[in-house]
Amino acid sequence: MIKVKKEGIIINKTTLPFENEGVLNPAAIREDNFVHLLYRAVSEGNHSSIGYCRLDGPMKIEVRNEQPILIPEFDYESHGMEDPRIVKIEGVYYMTYTAFDGVNALGCLATSTDLIHFEKKGIIVPEITYEEFNALAETNDSIHEKYFRFNEHRGILEKDGIKMLVWDKNVILFPRKINGKFYFMHRIRPESQIVLGIEKFEDLTPEYWKKYFLSYNDYIFLSPKYDHEISYLGGGCPPIETPQGWLIIYHGVHDSAEGYVYSACAALFDLEDPLIEIARLPYPLFQPQFSWELKGEVNNVCFPTGAVVFEDRLYIYYGAADERIACASVQLSELLNELVSNKK
């Protein structure tokens, strides 16, 4: 089995009003010797904004803002901006996040050229009811029976005057264009799906999504396979390009006597056709082990969302028990060798 080092907690919540309930699930991007972390900061009442911290090297805090770098501004994010991820493509930072309006959780996009000023582009995933989703997805093929359990909202169609939609979270862009087009992952439980090549985000129209769902099974990127991910899975960190393929660090969830357990997992996909899975670890890369991962706002959670490479060391930043930010590291070449030895 691959050897993973738990580096420990690097960011705790503070008494500042915007992050006094928790800090978790950071986006991470390396530039020179610095790592920029944009993290979910939770205030009283479970309202989230985006905090900012800069590390010197992979672990040492150099700057930490005392105010959020991004706050909710629009109705679709009125209850929070959650779980950011970030990539840089052709000089532009693309930050995806989950917007929560108190009823629905949907993937959004914001862009920046300086990591200070962001332009919000709005919701980029489909805004579709469960009934609409079900009708489209079953037109040409059947969908996994677990979709019924995870997405039908127990038959509730509206809450607080807001129409209930299928939750579509964990939107994560590939860090470069493939054949000149954007690719990104997204997640409607229990599987992770992929959008294969768009020229611009304005192309994600209702008509686009209607055609997408008519061939829904063609876009399933990751499906639960092993015991540690058997309940459901979803995206984690942005893909990391390696000679062997796209390294995907994702999260897998299994049910236990103490509730759901969230683990960090790893897989490898083809560089030019990311729908082709090359290999997957048959066991968790790492899972809750220490008290700060086992007990918190949500117990038994290691939720990876950002990763950077220093020399041959991969540093993975993750939310620990939905209350604090921790880091784990692994030798990159060793991980790739282990994945290649588990080829499909």
- pLDDT tens track for 177-196: 999 999 999 999 999 999 99
pLDDT of residue 141: 77
Secondary structure letter of residue 21 according to DSSP: S
Q: What are phi and psi of 209, to 5 degrees?
A: -70, -30
pLDDT of residue 157: 72
* Region 147-163 average pLDDT: 77
User: Which pLDDT band holds residue 208 (cuts at 50, 70, 90)?
Assistant: very high
pLDDT of residue 154 exceeding 90:
no
Average pLDDT, the chain: 95
* Region 212-219 average pLDDT: 93
Tokens 């770098």 map to which residue? Answer: 69
pLDDT of residue 155: 66
Number of H helices, E strands in the chain: 5, 23
Show contacts of 267-272: CB within 8 Å, 24+ apart.
267/222, 267/339, 268/242, 268/244, 268/336, 268/339, 268/340, 269/239, 269/245, 270/245, 270/246, 271/178, 271/241, 271/245, 271/246, 272/178, 272/179
Strand partners, 82: 98
pLDDT of residue 329 exceeding 70:
yes
Tens digit of each residue's pLDDT (9 = 90 or more) over 43-84: 999 999 999 999 999 999 999 999 999 999 999 999 999 999
pLDDT of residue 328 exceeding 80:
yes
Q: Considering the entire predicted model, what is its pTM?
A: 0.96
* Region 146-166 average pLDDT: 80
pLDDT of residue 147: 85
Check if the beta carbon of residue 38 is closer than 8 Å to that of residue 311.
no
* Region 125-150 average pLDDT: 86
Handedness of CA 95, 96, 97, 100 (dihedral sign): positive
User: Which pLDDT band holds residue 151 (cuts at 50, 70, 90)?
Assistant: confident
